[in-house]
Chain A
Amino acid sequence: MTPAISLTGLSRRYGDQLAIDDVTLQIDGPSITGLIGRNGAGKTTLLRIIAAQEFATAGTVRVLGSSPVENEAILPNVALVREDQAFPQFRVRHALEAASLFYPHWSAELAEELVASFELPPNRWVERLSRGMRSALGAVIGLAARAEVTLFDEPYAGLDAVARRVFYDRLLADYAEHPRTVLVSTHLIDEVSALLERVVILDRGRIVLDAGADEARSAFTRVSGAVEAVEEFVAGRAVLERRRIASQESAVVAGGLHDGDRPWARELRLTLEPLSLQQVMVQASARAAQQSKEREQA
């Protein structure tokens, strides 16, 4: 089965800055994948390239089997919701009308429901919308488009807690009924984490982790207990973080746990905890930085 999104050796260079660095990624649909990373990691650029709004400088992009660039067969099936979307002189309802023109699976019913849920004023000029309402408008368009490949770039930006919950629930509900390939980029990961089947972590344009959500969570472990016990346990492992207070220590180690580890930890009276996805992202980025420094020094 053709993957929904297939990137091979993708790179995008701006002058001497490599915004996307040799990214190879394959996403099969239907699925919900999270694209996470710090600000400036290259998430938006990657999504724009997938939606053919930006061009790659190396490598290939295939969406639903073909290159999306100037492709009239593919583009109607791709929806990209951007935080910084520029609109023409439109009111909210004009923007929705425009979307209904272009997306073949547009659901006016769903759009209406969502406008009500987000409390969007249909007659307000888009320019006049607050940041949160703009995000909400983007969310409405992205969801109601029911596009086979739906890309959300920081959909949460500016949404308050109530609106975030609406978005989350609506996305899940509509996804259950109309499964599609969803790629969500965000740096606020923990709220979305239960939504994701797969996690791709981007740091400085490179993929530093690409795994199932559960696998990703077990990529790092926090080891806590008495200082000597912790040190014994982490000897020989890649340690990313160490915190001490009095005779207690907490360290984050990379790499999964082996079979004998848990009983051994119990013996040493250590607690082993997985990290939340947010923490995984932070550690993965730190690890990538560490490794690139090691490479430079070598």
Chain B
Amino acid sequence: MLETHQLSFHFAAGTPLLADISLRLAPGEWLGISGDSGSGKSTLGKLLSGQLTPSQGSVQVDGSPLPTRGLRPVQWLPQSPELAVNPRWRVGKILREAWTPPDTLMAAFGIEDEWLKRFPSALSGGELQRVCVLRALAPGVRYVVADEISTMLDPITQLSLWQALKAHTEHYQLGVIVISHDTALLNRLCHQQWHLAGGSLRISSTALKAP
């Protein structure tokens, strides 16, 4: 269970960006977060994955706080994969940074062996995004925060990425937090949806429907 209890965060003292955010996400569940630009969606994603430290409150996985070192149980997937990889490493080294994914998963995510010898600059955004998603699915990772990971992809690439992630998370009971503007996408993917406005979460649909 990924839980936050009255989580607050501010960049400048006195003007909280996020206030009193409490949410719970069970393993295998998908949670969608929408909201305008600047509403703090990405900041919330970074807080949940331990990239930022909350000003108040805490993030807990199965009752214990996020570890500060080692593999993080909540992985953050940023919008631009180019910024999330070392440009001097070959794709093979990048992919195997935390674990060595089996060939079946490589095939499921459509990653070709030939890419592994290349540098990240020689892959397209969609190809590199898939590498980054698979890299984040190491054993020990329990939750994934997908921050607008498909906005720059065409519909078909987008779909294949989500299908692969859905199949994997169902099998291994990973929880996923999808941050996106695209409510149609969230409707398709998520069990529960939240709308972030004015620094707090509002439920838009929490009906636990099977997506």
Partners in one complex: no
